[in-house]
Amino acid sequence: MDYIFDIIINFNQENILDYYEWYYNDNIKYIKRIPLVKINNTNFMTIKNNIINFDIDFLSEIYNECEIIRQKKIIAISYACLFTNGKEVFAVEFDKKGKAVMWGGLLFDEQYEVIKKATKMKTTNIKYQIIESLNKRSFLTRKEQEIIIYLTKKIREMYLTNDEERLKYLYFECFNKLNHNIDNIYQQLLHLLNLDLTNKHQHLYHIVQLLNQKEVMSKNP
């Protein structure tokens, strides 16, 4: 078993976050030791982009081999490891049944050190089953994903509370035309949020923020 020592990993349930997108309150773990597994590129991309269930034999190999530092104590994580294809690297944490539940990104310089070590390693074959796709919008930055989530939430709230005036206003700002069919407005706005981000999304984001601020101020004069 190969190991990497003394690194920082930012674990996330949905995306592998690049180091420049980390927030101070993220699920960042200080790793004392973690197994490193080199796999071929096909398996690497499959594990990176899908929810995977790993073979029990693989789990037994890495059981309690990952150690983290928490409050000056060393604590074992039951099932976690790093995967690399020799060009990239990310971490995965599993539950006791072998299901991948967390994915982790590394700092840039620590990624480099892991990849450098991997050049001397042999590729390992591991058995797994694909449960489902993560359905990640990997082409979006973290901030862009937050904009989409925010807009989707606010537009749904407007629709569910029958806030027709605001929905009509947003539609006009987006498409520069009137529409009085609220169901149609709602569907078209949601459809817009599934398209590639443009200045229109940014404009919509700022409008919704302003509307939200005005609402808060009106309640707290």
For 18-66, what is each residue's pLDDT tens digit?
888 888 888 999 999 999 999 999 999 999 988 999 999 999 999 999 9
Q: Is the pLDDT of residue 96 over 60?
A: yes
Question: pTM of the prediction?
Answer: 0.68
**Which residues are bridge partners to 10 per DSSP?**
28, 105
Q: Is the pLDDT of residue 220 over 80?
A: no
Domain layout of the chain by residue ranges: 2-133, 142-219
* Residue 164 burial (CB count, 10 A): 13
Tokens of 85: 């294809």
Q: Nearest Cα to 130, choosing from 53, 76, 23, 191? A: 53
pLDDT band of 148, cuts 50, 70, 90: confident
Q: Is the pLDDT of residue 191 over 70?
A: yes
Mean pLDDT of the chain: 89
Q: Nearest Cα to 123, choosing from 24, 32, 43, 208? A: 43
Q: Angle at Cα 27 formed by Cα 22 and Cα 29, nearest 5°?
A: 100
Q: Is the pLDDT of residue 138 over 60?
A: no
Q: Which of 34-38, 44-48, 126-130, 137-141 has the lowest mean pLDDT?
A: 137-141
End-to-end C-alpha distance for the chain, whole angstroms: 63
For 77-91, what is each residue's pLDDT tens digit?
999 999 999 999 999
Q: What is the pLDDT of residue 221?
A: 56
**Which residues are bridge partners to 73 per DSSP?**
70
Selected residue with higher pLDDT from 139 and 138: 139
* Residue 151 burial (CB count, 10 A): 21
For 157-189, what is each residue's pLDDT tens digit?
999 999 999 999 999 998 989 999 999 999 999
Contacts of 105 (CB under 8 A, 6+ apart): 9, 10, 12, 16, 17, 18, 19, 22, 90, 91
How far apart CA 1 and CA 209 sit, in angstroms, is 51
Q: Is the pLDDT of residue 136 over 60?
A: no
Q: Is the pLDDT of residue 15 over 90?
A: no
